Structure 1
């Protein structure tokens, strides 16, 4: 079978039959060997029987959610290629040939673009059309260097084996973003074709929740990009805090009638520490995501991990701690020079704040080094457990040795070889 059309369904009695017949009509018109799968997510309005009567195969999916329903249908599909689309009659299932043509040409994922194909009046709320979708698509292109113009088009085609290989995990509406992001990170062949969007044929409200599902999409994009979530903001904060801290450690800075003094120095110190923690979080998140298979292995991160051993991290952390302790000792000497009496807080804080900052960063470095080492031992390069082929060879060898031993014992008892047992 060449093509499976998978439609998630939850109480789509008004439109599911129309969608199934359109897809079957496409098969007949273009001579495509295909099937229509309705991934039912617990409909209570008779959608299942309507879909069967129209010629679809209904696959019940108990786990709730848009993504769960689609993955259940994709797993049940028998086609080499899969086209997924909503069962609300907003997408034209009679016009799937551009998707199939690109798939036949070798594409792994073919995205529809509603902005290029045409959005009918009333088909998409203005908030989604002019703010939500453009902003989220821009974020996706920025974070992951994708060229897709419509990240959340629900009509898309793909090679079934390519998508199953990714191990997609999200069960809600953010499944649409995860598919594009994971395909992009895996360097799949991704293409885009124009498609249309019409007002859906339902009388009830859609399942999509503007703010909740929009936030889930944005949250997913951020969590899958430690570089933009942690690294870039952290480097900016570190740079700002370091420049400000160095400048203010020498003395107050006057800008017109405004004087920046030790209170600003304390703020610069906080910014530096926060930025340093964000950079470490970016590294730790990336390492964990690579180890668990959420993100592909990044050679740059692997080089950092190889060069940043536990011992080196402890040395760097120890040197920072030593610098902090030297600063604190210097502050005590300064206090002693004033007979442990009243001090000028401006002079003292220029010693204490940098010292405290160094101490805080030293422990951040030490704890991060320990955690990276823990992540490293979770995936030993030479595991003690043999691979399946080695295990099979060991079992066979043990069985042969056991038969030989038994044959030897039998021969010793009988004084002659037993031909049947030897065979």
Structure 2
């Protein structure tokens, strides 16, 4: 079992985070992935007994890609190295993964401390979770939680594409699209210790997460994505063409030729969009099958 802790400038918290997870999971190997910190985070983590590795490309997505590629374990526990997640809940998360042979258990955050979970982050999480549910049919209660337990087959079948904090969204979509067995457990979420600051920007990162959702929706559901575009173009064309058709029926003339040409062009674009969706759907199915085959090469947790 491996506990993997991505961190950046968490000198104030990393030693206690390592100690807490070692106490909660004494048989696990603790890895700290330092994401180009400018303070003593790496040295403090090393002194605390963690295996310290570095990822020079800035961004949590880059760190997770490196962690998942480099670390070999049967079960992975991922949490931020800022002491906000309850390490004491880790055994329960791991046991649920094993008992129910799940591929991911999410630690949904619960807090009574306003400073721990800002109102803007709460609202953004709720909105983004709702959008994900609308786009992909189902979702989690906390898609942005960084506290997760994974099976080996999840980690080794997950082609990480994200660069920053949108990684949690990509993880959630990967689980949903491959229809993996997953679960959530509510866990406590605490305030950061003095000297530690949040790296998440409510608006900038919120926009990046929303953009990632739309990109993944286009990639994973191309028929629906391009079908909606085709329907909109067709509707606009029909609205513009109705007056022309009425005038033609009454006079036998087409007085607004540019509008007629525009309607024809919109219908052509709608047709191209629809067939682009059909073609891309075939590609997506092939990619999904490859990911599923990679997933099936590994045994279920506990076997």
TM-score by length of 2: 0.81
2:187 to 186, 195, 202: 195
Counterpart of 1:69 in structure 2 is 63
- Count, aligned residues: 279
1:103 to 86, 97, 101: 97
CA drift at 1:288: 4.5
Counterpart of 1:161 in structure 2 is 153
Higher normalized helix content (fraction of residues): 1
CA drift at 1:216: 1.8
1:95 aligned counterpart, secondary structure: helix
For the residues of structure 1 that align with 2:264 and 2:194, how far apart are their CA atoms?
57
Counterpart of 2:30 in structure 1 is 36
Q: In the alignment, is residue 217 of structure 1 matched against residue 201 of structure 2?
A: no
2:143 aligned counterpart, secondary structure: coil
For the residues of structure 1 that align with 2:133 and 2:11, how far apart are their CA atoms?
36
Counterpart of 1:128 in structure 2 is 121
Deviations 1:207-238 (A, max 9, x none): 22222222221112111212477334224314
For the residues of structure 1 that align with 2:164 and 2:213, how far apart are their CA atoms?
14
Counterpart of 1:56 in structure 2 is 50
CA drift at 1:270: 5.8
For the Cα contact (< 8 Å) 1:20–1:51, is it kept in 2?
A: yes
CA drift at 1:239: 4.3
Counterpart of 1:94 in structure 2 is 88
2:25 aligned counterpart, secondary structure: helix
Structure of greater Rg: 1
CA drift at 1:110: 0.8
For the residues of structure 2 that align with 1:269 and 1:279, how far apart are their CA atoms?
16
Counterpart of 2:243 in structure 1 is 248
Counterpart of 2:175 in structure 1 is 183
CA 1:241–1:269: 2 relative to 1, 3 Å = farther
CA 1:66–1:274: 2 relative to 1, 3 Å = same
Counterpart of 1:4 in structure 2 is 2
Unaligned ranges ≥5, structure 1: 254-260, 298-423
Deviations 1:348-401 (A, max 9, x none): xxxxxxxxxxxxxxxxxxxxxxxxxxxxxxxxxxxxxxxxxxxxxxxxxxxxxx
1:208 aligned counterpart, secondary structure: coil
For the Cα contact (< 8 Å) 1:84–1:156, is it kept in 2?
A: yes
Counterpart of 2:130 in structure 1 is 138
Q: In the alignment, is residue 45 of structure 1 matched against residue 45 of structure 2?
A: no
For the Cα contact (< 8 Å) 1:109–1:159, is it kept in 2?
A: yes
For the Cα contact (< 8 Å) 1:110–1:191, is it kept in 2?
A: yes
For the residues of structure 2 that align with 1:100 and 1:204, how far apart are their CA atoms?
27
CA 1:137–1:232: 2 relative to 1, 3 Å = farther
